[in-house]
Chain A
Amino acid sequence: MAENLKEKTGELDISSSGADGYVSLSARRQSSGKLGDAVFKGVAYGFAFSVILLMALLFIVLVKESWLSIKAFGFSFVYSSIWDPVAQEFGALPSIYGTIVSSIIAIVIAVPISLGIAIFLTEMAPKRLKGPIGTAIELLASIPSIIYGMWGLFVFAPFLSEYVEPFLIDYLGFIPLFTGAPLGIGMLPAGFILAIMIIPFISSVTRDIFQMVPSILKESGYGVGATKWEVIRKIVFPYARSGVIGAVILGLGRALGETMAVTFLIGNAQEIKLSLLDPATSISATLANEFTEAVEELYLSSLVELGLILFLITFVVLALAKLLIARFSYKGGKL
């Protein structure tokens, strides 16, 4: 079939372009190009489409494996806070709560710091520092999360419980968020380590976006006498807004699904406590802790359903992000 096509088009080209050898050669090339195009496009399409299939398969497998739990608990799985492997009763609320709160803490800490780093690197740092620091931060973005988790457990948690948390309890203890014992392990430490983990990621992407702001825009800002901060605030930020939101959302995505860093530090308690210093749990930490031990079908199935819920959460977050980006994206020029 393909051979046929090739011959036909080849002949057609030759007949239309006469006996000139050069032209016929180029025509032949063009015909192989058409076939090549079809094949290349087909293969590319196949791989692109396989992503959709993969996603579908992932959902089907997750739903199938969690069907037992969906049938047993129905919607109460989402709002029940009982997690009792002995009585075979499972509710996901503490895990969902922990996943969301620790990620929010991470974003609240990481976004201002990342913006600070990006501003520092693009607008302020002396030339000699720009390159090395920028590269170093990019490199840090690739350090595996298990190393953040391990460092958090061995180094940072003792530091927190010794120096930081007693201070928080003494001076901010009147706020219910900062009560309890200085364990060095809990919601706040987990959120903090997540923040440190996503800072390099968000700041290196943000820096790249800031660098794409055309210097002619910035120069015209300076030209009318704006200060550096005014240029950043009124020209750089609006121009880069949609890109920065995208970077933050991707950072949030990493924080929501992160397993290793959180598991080491969150404290792994199936409870919902107001205090951020108390141990909590997250969906991924529950999975990492208990997936190996779940022998009973219902237990295992409930754990898989937790994974499914995490999927749905990221789905909603990303859908929201897409809406936001569409609404806020810079309309004044081509990005």
Chain B
Amino acid sequence: MRRLLILVSALMLCMATASFSSAQLINGAGATFPAPLYSKWSYEYAKQTKIKLNYQSIGSGGGIKQVMAGTVDFGASDAPLGAKELKEGGLVQFPMAIGGVVPVVNIKGIAPGQMKLTGEVLADIYLGKITKWNDKRIADLNAGVALPDEKITVVHRSDGSGTTWIFTNYLSKVSPEWQKKAGFGTAVNWPAGVGGKGNEGVATYVKRIKNTIGYVEFAYAVQNKLTQTKLKNKAGSFVDPSMESFMAAAESADWKGTPGFGVILTEQAGKGAWPIAGATFILVKANPSECANAKEVLKFFDWAYKNGGAMAKALDYVPIPKNVFELMEQAWAKEVKCASQPVWGK
């Protein structure tokens, strides 16, 4: 027992002394979707600057909650906050990357990109109104494709998620009935189907159970070689999910006119736009209590805007266009203040 105590106190002493010499640590938490990208950026940034940026994916809602509670230096969310929420929470919001949510299926004999769906059909599948794969409405869209006479098993997320927010936001836009029955949010009351935890859970179900449909983030579908579908966009053409079609959705958005830059990229009008695209956002306090950390956060994201594009593309994320991030940095200078002094600025 005594030996244990000595060991413990020695260990604590070690840590106390070491803590003074360790480099600065910045903590962030939130959305799962951009986590691989942020960890890649922070890994490279730590090599160059000795500043450690610890990002943990706990979910978008968690990111919002923790930054408000002040337990982390910044939060991350896939679901943009509105102007009112930003004001109430005393937060500043800016987008960091763009991605997309893709429907994935597991039907024998169907190749990736082979099946075509429309928003209305997708919504009715998720509402439990279309129950068979050879339903006339699916068959009409997919002439010449052999569809099985099998029940559809719908898979959705069981946990709250920014992916769900983007997906249900899209369904609400294309189907009034979905809007009425389920609505949109990071978690909704699903009319049908089974729930998987995380993208992993959804993908596992879709892979294992035959005749399923689910939705996952694009990077995830690519990594796991899932069978994605085509979707009909607002302009009326069937598009494949890809970096280009997400970019097309981002380009047609009105960044400047949206308060807090909280643009919603679902069902955008662009000709080649993928209809279920979304940006992922960073949230910082407008009046941070730890000014030094706040400055380091902004410095990091400035670095990421300017140098992180190639890394983002390598991981299947679309970087923020230059004209957009310049807008963001102007907003930082105006809105993020410490003791009424702007934190950002030359």
Contacts and interface: CB of A to CB of B under 8 A. Distances in A.
Interface of A: 82-87, 153, 157-158, 161, 181-185, 263-264, 267-270, 278-279, 281, 289-290, 292-295, 300
5 contacts: A84-B189, A85-B185, A268-B201, A270-B189, A293-B187
B160 A292 contact: yes
A268 B158 contact: yes
A182 B205 CA distance: 11
B189 A293 contact: no
Contacts of A270: 189, 195
A293 B58 CA distance: 8
Given A183-B194, A293-B159, A86 B205 contact: no
Given A183-B209, A268-B197, A293-B61, A86 B159 contact: no
Given A84-B188, A86-B189, A290 B204 contact: no
B322 interface: no
B161 interface: yes
Nearest to B159: A289
B60 interface: yes
A290 B193 CA distance: 18
A226 to B, nearest CB: 47
Contacts of B182: 86
Contacts of B61: 292-295
A157 B197 CA distance: 14
B28 interface: no
Contacts of A281: 158
B208 A293 contact: no
B195 A268 contact: yes
Given A153-B204, A293-B159, A86 B185 contact: yes
Contacts of A157: 208
Secondary structure of the B side of the interface?
Answer: loop
A158 B194 contact: no
Given A85-B187, A267-B194, A292-B62, A158 B208 contact: yes
B215 interface: no
Interface of B: 58-62, 64-65, 153, 158-161, 182-189, 193-197, 201, 204-205, 208-209
B132 to A, nearest CB: 15
A85 B159 contact: no
Nearest to A295: B61
B165 to A, nearest CB: 10
- Tell me if A's interface is mostly helix, strand, loop or mixed: loop
A82 B186 contact: no
Contacts of A184: 208
Contacts of A263: 197
Given A84-B189, A181-B209, 9 more contacts: A82-B189, A86-B182, A268-B158, A268-B196, A289-B159, A292-B160, A293-B60, A293-B159, A295-B65
Contacts of A182: 209
Given A267-B194, A269-B195, A295 B189 contact: no
Contact of A269 (B153, B194, B208): B194
A86 B195 contact: no
Nearest to B187: A85
- Which 9 residue pairs spanning A and B have beta carbons closest together? A293-B160, A268-B158, A293-B61, A84-B189, A292-B62, A289-B159, A86-B183, A85-B187, A268-B195
A182 B60 CA distance: 32
A146 to B, nearest CB: 13
A241 to B, nearest CB: 36
Contact of A161 (B153, B158, B193, B208): B208
B215 to A, nearest CB: 16
A83 B190 CA distance: 9
Contacts of B188: 84-86
Given A85-B185, A86-B183, A293-B187, A269 B64 contact: no
B195 A293 contact: no
Contacts of B186: 85, 293, 295
A271 to B, nearest CB: 9
Contacts of A293: 59-62, 159-161, 186-187
A85 B197 contact: no
A281 B197 CA distance: 11
A153, A269, A278, A281 — which one has the most chain B CB atoms within 10 A of its CB? A269
A85 B59 CA distance: 15
A158 B205 CA distance: 10
A331 to B, nearest CB: 39
Contacts of B64: 295
A290 to B, nearest CB: 6
A87 B189 contact: yes
A200 to B, nearest CB: 26
Contacts of B193: 269
Q: Which one of A85, A87, A182 has the highest number of Cβ atoms from chain B below 10 Å of its Cβ?
A: A85
B59 A292 contact: yes
Contacts of A279: 194-195
Contacts of B196: 267-268
Nearest to A85: B187
Contacts of B197: 263-264, 268, 289
A317 B94 CA distance: 50
A183 B184 contact: no
Nearest to A263: B197
Contacts of B184: 86
B28 to A, nearest CB: 14
B208 A183 contact: yes
A269 B189 contact: no
